[in-house]
A and B are shown apart, each in its own frame.
Chain A
Amino acid sequence: MTQVFFSKDHEWIALGDDGLATVGITSHAQNALGDIVFVELPEIGRNVATGESCAVVESVKAASDIYAPLSGTVAEVNQAIMDEPGLVNSGAEDAGWFLKLRLADVAAVSTLMDRAAYDQYLSTLA
């Protein structure tokens, strides 16, 4: 079963059987951003550090950075959300994924929240 972890910046990261970790933004994040009209994704092969801006989403009104929840190397990006940015709104936690990372240190997921902890965190954000 896939394990999913969450960052305080509202990114999710799912550990796959292939050793790659899929990264996206949470449903809460897409709702807060509003209608997404453009996504900029990183080059494959780029090394990103935890907390580093690795993608940009543009809503009608504003641009927002997406931060890498863990450090790693970009192995794959989701071309579908570049062609159809609205997928991030309609499927933030599945079809609207952003990129896959080969993690530098898989054990670092322990620094992130699980679903229950993230839901609890959301409830503290009035």
Chain B
Amino acid sequence: MPVFAPPAADRLGVVLQKTPLDALHRRLGARMVEFAGYEMPLQYQGIIAEHQACRTSAALFDVSHMGQVEIADPAGLERLVPGDIAGLKPGRQRYTLLLNEAGGIIDDLMVANLGTRLQAVLNAGRKAVDVAHMRAHGLEVTTRFERALLAVQGPQAAEILPEAAGLKFMDAAPLDVAGIPCIVTRSGYTGEDGFEIGCAGEQGETLAGALLARGAVPAGLGARDSLRLEAGLCLYGNDITEQTSPVVAQLNFALSKKRLAAGNFMGAAAINQQLANGVETLLVGIRLEDRAPARAGAEIQHGRARVGEVTSGCFAPTLQAPIALGYVAAACAAPGTALQLIVRGKPLTGIVTALPFVPHNYVR
């Protein structure tokens, strides 16, 4: 599971980074925790209330720990990802994956075509690895790690952000929000309609203040995790790693047929071989029958044999039931399959469930 340890001020030599919104979080009474080397808000008034705010109105998340980078050369990026980047039209964004030669996932990222350049948003814990990997393969990458990145998510997001109401899901555009120059995409990590809004770091707090004044509810990493899990979205480091491929993670939608046929990206041979021959394990959603959650690391059994392990698990506030993601033997991956998840030595029944657990609510 994600490391949500309290800030380790007493840990010698560890200096946690702060986002441009750090002072605002403290004024709002956030409980701060360490995540991916940053001090981040875990929650303000409570995970469940913040989760519900996102599902029913609009929540504001600080995701400035994620890495914004600019890339001038789409063809260069295409050599490292299985997605169609050359075919990404100006003003559009796409989810893609940096892969290693074995087809393992170095990171998952959003890439937007801003007309003059590409913008990519990288996971906080992976940005140094990603940039080194891209540069080692001849890509010119301009880091914009000092920028702020906010997410407004929920059915009322477009009312909070009327400036961006003309965008559709996965559109991207430079826009002024509350008079601040921003790069806005209509996307997110909650399954709800919403926007991610990048701006200069020094203007981040002003932007956040404007969005809060319009009625967005501040929400922390705790709600972000339960929301993304309900939406069936993978968390890098838990559900996908360098040891898992997009085929076993069931991210085939991110594999361009054209690019697979051409085979001209790192990891293509391994991915094509997995698609042709099948794989031994698959990432599945599991809904538990009782109230006890199964967490990352819990063993998964079928019959009495070990068939896999949970990679993410939480109590889903929307469903009022525990849910999990985990890798299981391919023979046990069909929806409806009953599995046993071992929690504190006891088997809990879980049923393989098609993802997402909670339907997406995107504006296309």
Contacts and interface: CB of A to CB of B under 8 A. Distances in A.
A56 to B, nearest CB: 7
B281 to A, nearest CB: 25
A56 B293 CA distance: 11
- Please classify the interface of chain B as helix (H, G, I), strand (E, B), loop, or mixed, using the class held by over half of its residues: mixed
A32 to B, nearest CB: 9
A34 B222 contact: yes
Contacts of A62: 1, 4, 295
A59 interface: yes
A60 interface: yes
Interface string A4-43: 0000000000000000000000000000001101101000
B47 interface: yes
Interface string A51-89: 000001011111100000000000000000000010000
A126 B64 CA distance: 27
Contact of B46 (A35, A63, A85): A35
A85 B317 CA distance: 13
A61 B46 contact: no
Given A34-B222, A58-B292, A85-B291, 20 more contacts: A34-B46, A34-B47, A35-B46, A35-B47, A37-B293, A38-B292, A38-B293, A38-B315, A40-B292, A58-B315, A60-B47, A60-B48, A60-B51, A60-B222, A60-B315, A61-B42, A61-B314, A62-B1, A63-B293, A63-B295
B293 A58 contact: yes
Which residue of A37, A40, A60, A85 has the most chain B CB atoms within 10 A of its CB atom? A60
Interface of A: 34-35, 37-38, 40, 56, 58-63, 85
B225 interface: yes
B245 interface: no
B344 interface: yes
A62 B313 CA distance: 9
A85 B320 CA distance: 12
Contacts of A56: 344
A58 B317 CA distance: 13
A83 B226 CA distance: 22
Nearest to B226: A60
Contact of B47 (A38, A59, A63): A59
B82 to A, nearest CB: 32
